[in-house]
Amino acid sequence: MKPETLHSCVDCGTQNCKFKDRTYPEFCPTANLSDEDLQWALERYDEGRNHDIMVASAEVEYEGYCQWTRVQEIMEFARKIGAHKIGIANCIGLVNEARTFARILRANGFEPYSVICKVAGKAKSSIGIPTQCEEIGAAMCNPILQARLLNQAHTDLNVVIGLCVGHDSLFYRYSEAYVTTLVTKDRVTGNNPAATLYTATSYYKKKFGV
């Protein structure tokens, strides 16, 4: 017997949460939202710099809508929140992209500071990663150390460029500065993971079973 499907926002066909006249399906998180949860979230926007981040994000979306590239958006966002020293947490496989981004930042008045994923050069097996994983490279990625070193550098905003799945999760967790992502790694699609979604019902249909 298959477990009952838990429906959520991806199963909604109305998207009425963005309109004034709203009707919702029965499973809708908005329709079933408690006042307590809503109030908790709204109160968090007044914590620390969260309100500044929300305002800056909305302004960047509005001012550059369908005009600015992601690189431009990051720089405009940084200016709006007063971020000058920009940390770069990059994969060693995307060092050229990170160098280009750093050049752009410098040319636009920012101070980039990068820590690469292989910092410290520790073997994967040294922390209990299976030795067969070293067949594609002996040195472990070190996202927690990347975050610590950027924290010590007192970066104002950190930008992820191509960290591996999971390594990025650890970096986000330990970064003290707010984090945004410039490049998401996908070795198969040339770092364009959305391409897989666009072809999920055609070229990738058998691979994903959809």
Within 10 angstroms of residue 50's Cβ, the number of other Cβ atoms is 13
141 token code pair? 């990625």
- Cβ contacts of 94 within 8 Å, gap of 6 or more: 161, 162, 183, 185, 191
* Cβ atoms 118, 93 nearer than 8 A: no
Q: Are strands 157-161 and 111-116 parallel, antiparallel or unpaired?
A: unpaired
**Cα pseudo-dihedral 57, 46, 166, 182, rounded to 10:** 20
The pLDDT of residue 20: 61
Q: Residue 153, class by beta-carbon neighbours within 10 Å (0-12 exposed, 13-18 middle, 19+ buried)?
A: middle
The pLDDT of residue 2: 66
Per-residue pLDDT of the chain (210 residues; tens, 9 = 90+): 666 788 888 888 787 887 766 788 888 888 889 999 999 999 999 999 999 999 999 999 999 999 999 999 999 999 999 999 999 999 999 999 999 999 999 999 999 999 999 999 999 999 999 999 999 999 999 999 999 999 999 999 999 999 999 999 999 999 999 999 999 999 999 999 999 999 999 988 998 988
182 token code pair? 């410039």
All domains of the chain, ordered by start, with CATH? Answer: 25-67 (no CATH), 69-210 (3.40.50.11840)
- CA–CA distance, 15 with 162 (Å, rounded to integer): 31
Within 10 angstroms of residue 151's Cβ, the number of other Cβ atoms is 15
Helix, coil or strand: residue 168? helix
- CA–CA distance, 182 with 98 (Å, rounded to integer): 10
DSSP assigned state of 141: P
| Phi, psi of 202, rounded to the nearest 5 degrees | -130, -95
- CA–CA distance, 30 with 152 (Å, rounded to integer): 40
pTM here?
A: 0.94
Per DSSP (E only), the strands in 35-139 are 85-90, 111-116
Rounded-to-5 percentages of helix, strand, coil across the chain: 45, 10, 45
